[in-house]
Structure 1
Amino acid sequence: MTVLYYDITMLNYDITLLYYELTVYYYDITMLYYAITMLFYDITISLHYYDNTMLHYDITMVYYDIIMLYYDNKILYYDITRLYYDIKMLHYDIKMIYYDITMLYYDIKMLNCDILMLY
């Protein structure tokens, strides 16, 4: 039962971690959206007023936001993989508990037969 408790605790931890990673992922996508919006806004300004001062900054921001999303995707993949394996371990532990209970049932049955044979 301790193993089952440990597996459930790990599953809960991984679900919480996945929730936080999805929240970070959402904010990174939002940041990328705003960076691209600013880039187009500054492209419009540079085409209209011939002012390119902000374009370099905006392109750099979009680049860094794309890199952040790339790493967030990797972290998200590892979190989902971890969650998958935790669920798999929980499944196997529940199966083992079932087999242990079944074995206990047959042991009690055998003990009952042994007691009857003593008489």
Structure 2
Amino acid sequence: MDVSLAKMDFLLDILLIGFEAMKQSGHIWPLITEDEQDRQMGRLVATLRFGDDLPRSLRGRALLQYIETHPEKDLLAFVRGETAGWLQRVIPEETDKFVVLAALNCVNCIAFISSPEQTNSCAGRKATRL
């Protein structure tokens, strides 16, 4: 099943907003490779699965802890809000989950590629000033 172009447009908007935020930050950003995107997607899926395995009473606390410790809280909050609004405006389809995952993965790629613990793993990658 394919994601419609209209729904991909939402994801493109998220990507462009993330790019603009990176550009305005003035940081020198390492290249976010496909391998890094895959790694962050694995991390995101593992986090979501962990939450699914928790009793309902602990899910809220786990989500709050995830948000509080996220390196890009503002970008995460923005994308979560935009995604929630988008989900209310569209006709629901099974493929919507892929759009949501891709949007959150975009945030995580930006957040964790720029965090200090990721700096060492980025050695040897081309740095880009945006």
Q: Return the TM-score normalized by structure 1.
A: 0.30
Instruction: Return the index of the structure with the highest Cα Rg.
Output: 1
